[in-house]
Structure 1
Amino acid sequence: MNYYFMPLEEQPDYGYGMIGSIYYAAANDLCSSEKFREDWYLVLPVNFLRRHCIELFLKSCIILFHKKFKLNFDNDKCTGEPKIKLNNGTWILLKTTHNIKDLYNYLDFLIKSNKDYLSKNTTTIWKFNDEFEKWIDKINGYDSVSDYFRYPISKDKNKDKNKNFFRENTMQGIQKEIEQGKKTITLIIEDSNGDAKKIYSNHKPDKIVDLFKILQKTSDELSGFHTAVRMELFNGF
């Protein structure tokens, strides 16, 4: 990839793809660590890295399509301030949005609008996995403004509860888990009489783990797509 060896500001997409690739690699490096566990809070930074690289890859490809096909950004030339067009026809600055559904919709429009050129002049099949849009919808449903995996509190407090790897439990609940052969980490808070006041034990938040897998598949898909755009349309630049 020739663009790897250029200053970010001189790359045709202003470095969006390069930084996206770095976040993508960082997520994979974390997951390959011997200390990484899917049933612990380590999935949150990995989810953030992958969610962010998805956003950056989408933004990169939008800019590159505009540059390749000399498409104006609203009233600005393709070399002007990057923008995306929403489904309602409104143009917004690319740098002001984190909504990956809006970004995907616009990229999908650009791909379909230039499918004749792509089919005749490239060897890539410019089509995402059949489940790809569902993955985007799932991720965006949790994190449309890029805050869900970064902070303990996001704009949706109900969904924030899904980030917990510990939850309130009872002695009966713990005993049942032990009988089922489950390993448990438990905190028991006692009152002044030595009676259990609060009991917390670990659990695996299925929704966060599910998002972990979806983010992995989505980032893998976009990493490959981004590589195809650079190689097929920009000769590695």
Structure 2
Amino acid sequence: MLYMMLPLDRHFDSGFGAVADSFRDAADALEDSRESTPTLNAHLPVSFLYRHAIELFLKSAIIIFHRKLNIPYGAIPASGEPQIPVGDKWKPMHNVHGLQPLYQHFCSLFEDHAEYLAIHTNTDWSLPTELGQWISEIEATDSSSTFFRYPVTKDKEKDKQKSVIREDDYDALLSRMGQHQKPTKTLLMLDQHDNLVETFSHDDTQAKEIIHTLKQVAEIFSNCHAALAGELTGGA
């Protein structure tokens, strides 16, 4: 791809796709090292990197479509500042961080120009049927690209889900141990009389599920970006 050897500002999509690839590559590297050398709360930067890569891949695809096919952003020409339709208004792309509006516009561009793609490209542009559901799941967790970046956000209840150390119920813990489930890492807090006060356990099940979803979606859009760059921009 020609863009790999050009400065970001010379890329057809202003460098969005290339930067997205760099975030995805960093996430892959960090995830691989996390498996071999466990680090406390490392799932958060891994998740953020994948999530941000997805956002940038979507923005790249949108820019490529508008510039290549000279599609205006509402009242703004295709050569102007990229915009995203949110509700009944067009908003500057740099102000839109939610994946849902980006994905919806991404899909509409593919649908509206399916005939052009069929005639002028050799790529099978079909995407997994589950992709929309995966985007919705990511959006439900992190709709503003803040959940994985900060320890606290505006949603205190949701914030409790981001840690792999969770408040636990002692009786439920004993029940799980009695059922010979997988080993658990647990902290028991006792008072000065050795009475149990609080129980905390390590549970990374949800973190692993989120990373799995983020990783496969990032891979799908990385492949899509490569195809769009090759087919519509000549690798630029």
TM-score, with length taken from structure 1: 0.90
Partner Cα distance (2:102, 2:170) in 1:
48
Q: Over the residues paired in the alignment, what is the CA RMSD in angstroms?
A: 2.0
Structure 2 SS opposite 1:32: helix
Aligned amino acid, residue 82 of structure 1: P
Q: What is the number of residues matched between the two proteins?
A: 234
Change (3 A) 1:202 1:69: same
Q: Name structure 2 gaps, 5 residues minimum.
A: none
Match of 2:124 in 1: 125
Aligned-residue sequence identity (percent) comes to 33
Deviations 1:10-65 (A, max 9, x none): 2121111111000011111122225256x963222111111100000000110111
Check the 8 A contact 1:72/1:78 in 2, yes or no: yes
Give the C-alpha shift of residue 195 in structure 1.
Answer: 2.9
Give the C-alpha shift of residue 185 in structure 1.
Answer: 2.0
1:19-168 equivalence runs, <5 A? 19-33=19-33, 34-35=35-36, 41-86=41-86, 88-168=87-167
Give the C-alpha shift of residue 76 in structure 1.
Answer: 2.5
Check the 8 A contact 2:84/2:96 in 1, yes or no: no
Partner Cα distance (1:49, 1:136) in 2:
15
Change (3 A) 1:102 1:151: same
Structure 2 SS opposite 1:162: coil
Structure 2 SS opposite 1:128: coil
Match of 2:224 in 1: 225
Deviations 1:200-234 (A, max 9, x none): 2222343x332222111111110110110000111
Partner Cα distance (1:196, 1:109) in 2:
56
Partner Cα distance (2:74, 2:136) in 1:
26
Aligned amino acid, residue 77 of structure 1: P
Partner Cα distance (2:118, 2:53) in 1:
27
Runs of 4+ in 1 over 4 A off after TM superposition: none
Structure 1 SS opposite 2:175: helix
Change (3 A) 1:84 1:175: closer
Deviations 1:64-94 (A, max 9, x none): 11111011222332221111123x4311100
Give the C-alpha shift of residue 164 in structure 1.
Answer: 2.6
TM-score, with length taken from structure 2: 0.91
Partner Cα distance (1:218, 1:169) in 2:
32
Give the C-alpha shift of residue 178 in structure 1.
Answer: 3.6
More displaced 10-residue stretch of structure 1: 186-195 or 106-115: 186-195
Check the 8 A contact 2:63/2:82 in 1, yes or no: yes
Deviations 1:150-187 (A, max 9, x none): 11222322222222322233554444344325322222
Match of 2:208 in 1: 209
Q: Name structure 1 gaps, 5 residues minimum.
A: none
Partner Cα distance (2:169, 2:161) in 1:
19
Change (3 A) 1:218 1:76: same
Give the C-alpha shift of residue 130 in structure 1.
Answer: 0.7
Check the 8 A contact 2:43/2:211 in 1, yes or no: yes
Structure 1 SS opposite 2:65: helix
Match of 2:12 in 1: 12
Aligned amino acid, residue 102 of structure 1: P
Check the 8 A contact 1:58/1:222 in 2, yes or no: yes
Partner Cα distance (2:185, 2:198) in 1:
14
